[in-house]
Amino acid sequence: MRITTWNVNSIKQRIGHLLAFLEEARPDVVCLQELKCQDAAFPRDEVEAAGYTVETLGQKAYNGVALLVRKPLALTEIRRGLPGDPDDVQARYIEGVVAGEETAPVRVASIYLPNGNPVASEKYPYKLAFLERLRRHAGGLMRDETALVLAGDYNVIPDAVDAADPEAWRGDALFLPPSRAAFRALLAEGLTDALRACDPREGVYTFWDYQAGCWQRNFGIRIDHLLLSPQAADRLVSASVQKHLRGLEKPSDHVPVTVELLDA
């Protein structure tokens, strides 16, 4: 089972890139973030025609997450929204169980974690509270011992090695010590950072800003992660970054990250 996470930074602008990726890579599950559209505006017909079941949690102009599952795999037990705050209306979390006749179930979540900037605003406490809610929810999900993959744009640079220029991010919500500590607390629930487990090299990034020639200079950061429960980590075969998509015309500033798991 191949599971991909990708912040497309507007599905309307990137639908051509997405359809080409689905045909090229044939992932079994795709976790999309930053759709920037309501559910009714998602290009469902095009994605379904490519052979995928679609579940979305959209929001006008902002946020938005989706799960795409390649048929004949089934997608069930859909959960929209991260538990823990009934007043949170931002579209940042969708979860479901993927399984097939010869494929053991995997619970997959698509997550668009808050950016948190500016730090002095209410946005940073919201980011930290979201991370804590995610930690608690993950701990609860892991108790049933079903393979779990928490995939998405976490907006957290875990370590200095995950940035081409760490000093440029010292005061940013993505790299502040509380953000990194909250990410480590999430891992401490027993989750594995799949990409780092497979590729510990420096210079592995998933995001390049549109400004200041960051892509051309490879001034990237790693903020898109797939975190695996022990049952999923036991099935881990590989993890990779599809960096070439950043070089397309009018690309997202993020690229897909993919893990491959044994079917059972």
Query: Which residue among 52, 93, 112, 205 is the active-site one?
Result: 112
* Residue 259, CA atoms < 13 Å, CB-side half-sphere: 31
pLDDT at 199 (0 to 100): 95
Mean pLDDT, the chain, rounded, equals 98
Beta partners for residue 2, in sequence order: 260
pLDDT at 213 (0 to 100): 94
pLDDT at 76 (0 to 100): 98
pLDDT at 218 (0 to 100): 96
Report residue 124's pLDDT band, with 50, 70 and 90 as the boundaries. very high
Q: What is the pLDDT of residues 1-42, one digit of tens each?
A: 999 999 999 999 999 999 999 999 999 999 999 999 999 999
pLDDT at 117 (0 to 100): 98
The topology (CATH level 3) of 2-261 is Deoxyribonuclease I; Chain A (3.60.10)
Taking the CA atoms of residue 7, residue 13, residue 14 and residue 16 in that order, the dihedral angle to the nearest 10 degrees is 170
Please name the residues in contact with 176: beta carbons below 8 A apart, sequence gap of 6 or more.
Answer: 119, 124
Query: Which residue among 153, 162, 172, 224 is the active-site one?
Result: 153
Q: What is the pLDDT of residues 52-108, one digit of tens each?
A: 999 999 999 999 999 999 999 999 999 999 999 999 999 999 999 999 999 999 999
Contact predicate 4/31, CB 8 Å: yes
**Mean local confidence (pLDDT), 191-220:** 96
Q: Where are the domains of the chain?
A: 2-261
**Mean local confidence (pLDDT), 105-125:** 98
Annotated binding site: 7, 34, 153, 155, 253-254
The pTM score is 0.98
Annotated binding site for Mg(2+): 7, 34, 153, 155, 253-254
pLDDT at 163 (0 to 100): 98
Q: What is the pLDDT of residues 63-73, one digit of tens each?
A: 999 999 999 99
**Strand ranges (E), 121-165:** 147-153
**Mean local confidence (pLDDT), 150-179:** 98
The CA distance from 209 to 200, in Å, is: 23
**Mean local confidence (pLDDT), 143-171:** 97
pLDDT above 90 as % of the chain: 99
Report residue 156's pLDDT band, with 50, 70 and 90 as the boundaries. very high
Contact predicate 3/226, CB 8 Å: yes
| Residue 254: active-site member | yes
Beta partners for residue 105, in sequence order: none
| Residue 153: active-site member | yes
The CA distance from 225 to 199, in Å, is: 13
Query: Which residue among 17, 137, 225, 254 is the active-site one?
Result: 254
pLDDT at 120 (0 to 100): 98
Q: What is the pLDDT of residues 168-199, one digit of tens each?
A: 999 999 999 999 999 999 999 999 999 999 99
